[in-house]
Amino acid sequence: MQFQVPQFIDVAPKIIGPLTIRQFLYVVAGVAPAFILFFMLAFWLWLIITAILLSIAVALAFGKMNGQPLTRIAFAAFSYFWQPRFYLWKRAEEPVELPALPKMPEEASKPRTPIRELAFKIATTTRPIPKREKAGNFFAAFRKRGDDIEVFRKTTGERAAARRVDYR
């Protein structure tokens, strides 16, 4: 079973000449008061008011901003300024107090054996430990190899080596 899919569904049908019904109603809403005011006002005053009315009517009928009709933009601006913008945050529940952590005994927090002390220093320092590690520049060997390894300094101040890759 085949169905014909409608095309151009985002284009409004032209009802009155080249105008859609909405555009026609906006133009009529601008022309009708201008026609009535022609018989009530002096010519120079009528000319000024008609220019203002027709420019507003044409802008509402044909104007677009960022692909949106001007009427939708005007409605959004009006609702933004009209609606209250007072936000109040109320906490739903009382804050929960966490129990205090038990204090570790001082003996357990300090490493006593030389092996535990060495492991602690290795894990927490970036400088060589005297009599255990060589104090020489470890990354100097990488620099001699060529341009494929580059030594850089991290934001923490630590130095590291990384392989340079050129995508040429």
Predicted pLDDT of residue 53: 95
DSSP 109: H
Predicted pLDDT of residue 30: 94
Q: Residue 105: is its pLDDT beyond 90?
A: no
DSSP 3: -
Report the C-alpha gap between 142 and 136 in whole angstroms.
13
Q: Residue 18: is its pLDDT beyond 70?
A: yes
Q: Specify the pTM.
A: 0.45
Report the C-alpha gap between 134 and 141 in whole angstroms.
14
